Chain A
Amino acid sequence: MSKIDQNTIKHISDLANIPVSTQETKKLVDDFLKTLKVIDELRQVSVEDVEPTHQVTQLTNVMREDEVAKEKMLTQEEALANTESSHKGYFVVPRILEK
Chain B
Amino acid sequence: MSNLNNLTIAKALELIDKKEIQVSDIYQDLLNSIKEKNKELNIYLNTLPDPLKEVKKKTNLKLKGLPIAVKDNFCVPEMPTTASSKILKDFKSPYESTVTKNIKKAGGVIVGKTNLDAWAHGSSTETSDFGRTRNPRNTNHLPGGSSGGSAAAVAADLTLAAIGSETAGSVRQPAAWCGTVGFKPTYGRVSRYGVIAMASSTDSPGPITKTVEDSVILYQAIAGHDPNDATSSKKEVKNLIKELDQTIKNLKIGVLYLDVEELESIKDIYQEQLKVFEKLGAKVEFTQALDPRYAVGVYTVVQRSEVSSNLARFDGIRYGSDRSHFGDEAKRRIMLGTFTLSKGYADQYYNLAQKVRTLFINDFEKLFEKYDILVAPTSPGFAKKIGSSEGTAMFGELEDMLLEPSSIAGLPGISVPCYRDEKTNLYLGLNIMAPMFREDLMVRAADAFEKNTPWNSWRNNS
- Chain A: residues with CB nearer than 8 A to chain B? 2, 8-9, 12-13, 15-20, 24, 28, 30-32, 34-35, 38-45, 47, 50-57, 59, 62, 64, 72, 74, 78-79, 81-83, 85, 91, 93
Q: Are A47 and B323 in contact (CB under 8 A)?
A: no
Q: Are B94 and A78 in contact (CB under 8 A)?
A: yes
B270 within 8 A of A: no
Residues of A within 8 A of B393 (CB): 30-31, 34-35
Q: Are B349 and A39 in contact (CB under 8 A)?
A: yes
Q: Are B355 and A47 in contact (CB under 8 A)?
A: yes
Residues of A within 8 A of B294 (CB): 41-42, 44-45
Encode contact with A along B332-352: 1 for CB under 8 Å, 0 otherwise: 101110111010010011011
Residues of B within 8 A of A79 (CB): 94, 318
Residues of B within 8 A of A2 (CB): 345, 348
Residues of A within 8 A of B357 (CB): 52-53
Q: Are A52 and B354 in contact (CB under 8 A)?
A: yes
Q: Are B339 and A18 in contact (CB under 8 A)?
A: no
Q: Are A82 and B409 in contact (CB under 8 A)?
A: no
- Chain B: residues with CB nearer than 8 A to chain A? 90-92, 94-95, 187-188, 201-202, 227, 230-231, 233, 293-294, 296-298, 300-301, 308, 312, 315, 317-320, 323-324, 326, 331-332, 334-336, 338-340, 342, 345, 348-349, 351-359, 361, 393-394, 397, 408-410, 436
Instruction: Name the residue on B nearest A40 (C-beta).
Output: B297
Q: Which of A31, A34, A59, A74 makes the CB contact (< 8 A) with B188?
A: A59
Instruction: Return A30 CB to nearest CB of chain B, in Å.
Output: 8
Residue contacts A-B, CB under 8 angstroms, 25 given: A12-B335, A16-B308, A18-B331, A19-B323, A34-B394, A35-B393, A38-B296, A38-B394, A44-B294, A45-B294, A45-B359, A47-B355, A47-B358, A50-B355, A52-B354, A54-B354, A55-B231, A56-B409, A57-B187, A57-B410, A64-B227, A79-B94, A81-B94, A82-B94, A91-B318
Instruction: Name the residue on A nearest B350 (C-beta).
Output: A52
Residues of A within 8 A of B339 (CB): 8, 12, 32
Residues of B within 8 A of A32 (CB): 335-336, 339
Residues of A within 8 A of B410 (CB): 56-57
C-alpha spacing A32/B333, complex, angstroms: 10
The 6 closest A-B pairs by CB, nearest first: A52-B354, A56-B410, A82-B319, A47-B355, A16-B338, A42-B297
Interface centre among A15, A38, A53, A82 (most CB of B within 10 A): A53
Q: Are A47 and B94 in contact (CB under 8 A)?
A: no
Q: Are A35 and B336 in contact (CB under 8 A)?
A: yes
Instruction: Name the residue on A nearest B301 (C-beta).
Output: A39
Q: Are A57 and B233 in contact (CB under 8 A)?
A: yes
Q: Which of A8, A20, A43, A57 makes the CB contact (< 8 A) with B331?
A: A20
Instruction: Return A99 CB to nearest CB of chain B, in Å.
Output: 15
C-alpha spacing A42/B293, complex, angstroms: 9
Given contacts A12-B342, A39-B349, contact A24 B230 (CB under 8 A): no
C-alpha spacing A44/B296, complex, angstroms: 13
C-alpha spacing A18/B233, complex, angstroms: 36
Given contacts A28-B332, A42-B352, A62-B230, contact A47 B359 (CB under 8 A): yes
Residues of A within 8 A of B356 (CB): 42, 45, 47, 50
Q: Are B335 and A50 in contact (CB under 8 A)?
A: no
Interface centre among A9, A17, A39, A55 (most CB of B within 10 A): A39
Q: Which of B336, B361, B397 makes the CB contact (< 8 A) with A53?
A: B361
Given contacts A16-B335, A32-B336, A45-B294, contact A52 B351 (CB under 8 A): yes
Residues of B within 8 A of A85 (CB): 317
Given contacts A12-B342, A53-B361, A59-B231, contact A17 B323 (CB under 8 A): yes
Instruction: Return A73 CB to nearest CB of chain B, in Å.
Output: 10
Residues of A within 8 A of B296 (CB): 38
Residues of A within 8 A of B359 (CB): 45, 47, 50
Instruction: Name the residue on B nearest A72 (C-beta).
Output: B95
Instruction: Name the residue on A nearest B77 (C-beta).
Output: A78
Residues of B within 8 A of A17 (CB): 312, 315, 323
Q: Are B354 and A57 in contact (CB under 8 A)?
A: no
Q: Which of A38, A59, A72, A82 makes the CB contact (< 8 A) with B91?
A: A82
C-alpha spacing A40/B349, complex, angstroms: 8
